[in-house]
Each structure stands twice: as structure tokens, then as C-alpha cells.
Structure 1
């Protein structure tokens, strides 16, 4: 109801559109999403800032990031339409994961009496966003609910998520892990040579090389940057088929992404 009150305060007597920001900077064609919108009764909206008919949606490149807003309702806002406003706000928040936006499509002809208070005079085209959370609906920045622990040096609640409040970041130094003069076949990963299962790790790495066509017989320092990046930091979501045969003849197989030397 606080959001409804705020919408009324800002846009009473404006003709408004209430939007639900369903997709923000996500890759994909989103074809199935458009079908779902139509099935739920939402026929129009905006795609990447442009008006769109969801029954005949634009063809989106799956490799690019897109923004999709659903138009929940459009009407002349007034106090006697509070029920309609509440329903539209609730639907927008539900569809948009707790966020919504309201745009003024047409401004009132005269300024309303705000009972001694200065009511904002928004020009036509003004858009204001709201969120149920302590979050920016445009960029996704999030803040936990305010409490004393947020400001405590001894609590992780308000700490920087990158350094966890330490003020420093600990990272692996590849130069201390890899001997650039050695090949994968000769055990270029120094810590693995001292592990209890050096053979296991060497087989893993060789099969990653085989999958990507990387030579295991070239010194690590002479490999191209893409090859080094895959070996060090993993294959992402790409599945690699690993298979191993023990000395007693038993075979073990697994299909999974390569996590990387620095996992």
C-alpha cells in the first residue's frame, strides 16, 4: 500500500502506464516468455525500450542482452481508482520479482491541491521505479534491510561482498603454480606433482587438452592465451567427457565441465 500511496501522490490525474520489468540485461530469444505473457493476458510492452506487440514479438538475437517490460495497465489515475491501481501494482510486483515502474503518458490540465504540501509536478514521459526490496530495479544493486549489524565492523552483513570486509583480496598467483618451461605431459602444475594422486590430475589435464585440441607436449608458457585460460580457469558450462582405466581394468567415466587448475 505504501507503493500505491506513492504512485497516487506522484501521478494523480495523470494518464499512466504501469510496467513490470521482467527481463533485465539477459541473453536469449525469450520466445517462450512472450507466449507466456499472452497466455496471462498481457499483449503489449516494451522490448529494449521500444513498443512491442507480444502476439507478434520481435525476433531477438540470443547472443545479445535484452530488456523486456510488460505493460500491466494503462488508465487515468485518480483516488476513486485506488482498487484498480492496487491490483495493477500487485500484478506488476509479482511478475517483475518485486519491482515496477510507472510512466506519465499525459499530464493533468491543472495542478491538484495537495492540502498545503508541495506535490511534485512531473512532466509527460516521466518514469519512476519502485521496489519491494532495498534494491535498484534498473541495475540490480541490492542492500539488506537496515539494522545495526549493517554498520558493524564485526559483522559480515554490511561487508563488501568482494573482500568480505577485510580490505584485501586473496588470489592465486599462476606464476607460483605453473612452471612455464614444462609441458602438461611433464607435470607443469607444481602443487599437483607433490600430491598423493599426481597421475590422476595429469590424466584429467591431458583429456582437457584432447577435447580442445591443445598439445600436451608444448611448454605451458608457449601455449596461446585462450588455451592457458581454459586450463587455468575451466571450461565454463562446456561439458567434457572424462574416462579413466585403473590398473585392474575397471573403467570410470564422468561428464562434467572442467573446473580449472585454479578452481
Structure 2
């Protein structure tokens, strides 16, 4: 089979006139012409149909019985053909969230592809992000300067609204003494009241340790406790210093940057987990231009300097508000 080109001989499907054609592989190719000239007959009814038929024939007999027999297109032969994918032609949409990917429905397949075979990398250092074992976490912590004071924290709530009364009670029942809420440390014997409508971060203080030789076993136990409590995350808070976030899921061992396991929603611009926080997943930002609002700065407000307002009438509500503001501010 030729590796660099697709060879078509004797294509006669529909209105094709026994054509012979050679097409380069791994290239972007466009068929153009008048309506009825055979573009779709060649691309969809010949090349795609034969590629799909050959792929189905390569499947097991059990799988083929559910797909049925596929008709061979009217062509002498095609060489260099790989399994083919066809994308439907659909009407366009003016929705800003409608893209080439969503209209053709290839977007969903791409999200699945990236989620399954994607390899995440640290945005800071560029290294591959992998799951971290408890031993790796311990080794990283032990690299801290001797006599460094740290806290091992288990993040049980991250950016979630609520009073979390039952959670705090359960943490206390499990024998934990201290907790950190929104950066402030509390004793669980205190009365803790959280604002119901505010988002909170709650971390259980698992242990307080001074870095020195021989603490590896204690450190391991504390990390394992934190991981179980927080479903795979642990925060190492260096007293009067930075914090390091570890994950037994996916995290950079050098920078401490941790992410969740790859999922299709991470690659969706319609999901809060995947969309850009700046443009909200639209790919563009709408901003107000002062030059369009006040194109002629030599005019007064009453003369129509503010274009959206136009020329203010004396008895208009807008004019009364502007006049009152002018009197108030001088």
C-alpha cells in the first residue's frame, strides 16, 4: 500500500465518469466545483464509503452481524485508503457558542479523545503531571529545611457554600482538634458559625510537625490520614511560609500544582470546569468603547455628548437626574 498517496481507479459512482485520481496523504484537500459536478459522489459516496466498508470487514464476524452488509461503491479499486470519518453538513447557527466543532459534532469526539489519551503538563515548569505516591510526598516534604514547622491539612471543602454544621460535628467526633476555615485556624471546641451563602474552604489539621530526621513514619501516617479524609488531596502548610498541595491523583511533584483526573468536561467551553474564566468560553470579550459613547468631547451633556442618551429634553427624567448630580457635585 502506498504510504504517501491515495490512488483511485475507475470511479463511476453516480455521475462520476470513470475517473482516475491520485491524492496526497496527510494533506488538507478541498474539492470545489458546480453543484452536481460529483464532489460529494467522490468524497462521501466513493472514498468514505469504501473506507468505512473496509473497516467494517476488518471487524469480527460477531460485530459485523450488528452492522449489516455494506455496499461496495462503483469503483475499480482504491489503494492507500485508511479507515475514514465523515462529518455531516448542517445549517449554520448564529449562536456564539456554535463552532465548526459543535455543528459537525466532532467536538464531542475530540473531548473524549483528549480526556482518554491526553497527558497533562505543569503550566509552570512544563513537566508531565503524574499521580504521586505517599512515598513521593514524604520525600518532597523531607527536602524542606531542617527545623521547619509545618501543618498537615486535609481539604474537605473547597469553595462550597453552606454552614457545614454536620461536617464539623463529624470531624470533631472523629477525634480531630483543630480546623482551618478560610485561612483562619479554629479549635473544634469553639462555637463555629459559617455564613450560609458564602463559599468556604475547610481543612482539617491532621498534624503539626517539625522537620527533622526520623519523622518519616509519623509523616507517612499523617499524609495517609489526610488523603483518606479529603479523597486524595493533602496540603502542607509551612508556618509563616507557602503551602504545597499534593495529590495522589495528578500533581506536579516540583511545583506542587495539582489537577483533577482528565475528564471530557475539562475540554468543554460550556462547562465551568473547562471554559476560560476571562471570556466565559465565548472566545471573545465585549467591552465598552468610550470613543463610541462620547465621540465629540467638545459637546456638553445637554447638547448630546453622550450618544446613547441623545439630546436631553428639559422635562425628561434623565435630564432631571443629570441636573441633580451636577448641583450635588458642583
TM-score category, normalised to shorter length: 0.3 to 0.5
